[in-house]
Amino acid sequence: MILSKNSERDNLSCELFPQIEPFSTNFLSTKDGHRIYYEQCGNPSGVPVIVFHGGPGAGCNPNMRRYFDPNHYRIILFDQRGCGKSKPHASIINNTTWHLLDDIESIRKKLKIKRFFIFGGSWGSALALIYSQKFPNNVLGLVLRGLFTMTQSELDWFYSEGGASLFWPEKWKDFTDIIPPNERNNLIEAYRKRLFDKSKEVREKFAISWTIWENSLATIRSPEVPSNPPATYALAFSRIENHYFINKGFLGEDEQILANMHKLENIPGTIIQGRYDMVCPPVTAFRIHKAWQKSKLILKNFAGHAMTEPDITRALLKATEEFKDYI
């Protein structure tokens, strides 16, 4: 296996596979007005792996192709509704977890894939588990990172006083100061009003603030003064994520994912979790691992949330290599 070097901040290097371009790109047109971008890379005859990106609303990026041996895997990336290259941009209309599952099934059938591996992190891990619980016979295995299960306690940790705010008080102050004091008891709702304001200036201001709060906490080496994300990206990320959080992921009960882990009893999985993940604390990964008989939990002691954390990247690469043995 020949790997290239990808320099990480602080002179830490993570070994990724070489940059590659898709051999196929396309759009899936849905009956309810969305066009879902998807692409294929690597070996057209290889073992299929589909990447479930985070957010919701973050979209895929070209580096995600580089976590897999392109000689072995048929690598499929897609942008979930409303984000990335999918259209309409930043739309929350007909945009729910169950719509996303329908899109995944449509892509799977269109590409004539019977079974596939799933690679997902953060919200992508939640979507991966929900999909696997509904369609267990379609899934060969899962590589998950920074586990999230859309529970109220997870949302409270990140968007209420007393969780992540205790570790990043200065960034919490920036995030909350632009909301009137009488609305700070429900920041998700307070931001929702402004993310969908009639004024473009207001929408962009609060979209950037929402995105900076999450991005600032994604790694254990966050810059003291984070750069502003592009407004176009921030709008999709913040509006779609907020929409899903307001609706609790469109799940029927708070612990739905955990309660249905028995449906994965025949599916192997590797869970990779940063010990200092401020976005998705390790307790979620631990609970899912204990309820999932065929899972392996790998805790990285000097890592946070992002897949670009050096120790997380190395663990993800190792996991995708190990899953070659399942075929």
The C-alpha angle 242, 243, 247, rounded to 5 degrees, equals 110
User: Please, what are the domains in the chain?
Assistant: 4-151+250-326 (3.40.50.1820), 152-248 (no CATH)
Structure tokens at 290: 């204990």
Rounded CA separation 87/122 (Å): 23
Provide CB contacts within 8 A for 236, sequence distance 6+.
57, 59, 82, 83, 84, 89, 90
Contact 300, 238 (CB under 8 A): no
Rounded CA separation 139/219 (Å): 30
pLDDT in tens, 130-165: 999 999 999 999 999 999 999 999 999 999 999 999
Query: Can you give the pLDDT at residue 2?
Result: 38
Query: Can you give the pLDDT at residue 55?
Result: 96
Task: Name the percent of the chain lying above pLDDT 70.
Answer: 94
Name the residue with tokens 């929350």.
Answer: 92
132: region left, alpha or beta (phi > 0 left; psi from -120 to 50 alpha): alpha
pLDDT in tens, 239-273: 999 999 999 999 999 999 999 999 999 999 999 99
DSSP 8-state symbol, 319: H
Backbone torsions φ then ψ of 165, nearest 5 degrees = -60, -30
The catalytic residues are 122, 277, 305
Residue 269: enclosing H or E segment and its boundaries? strand 269-274
DSSP 8-state symbol, 270: E
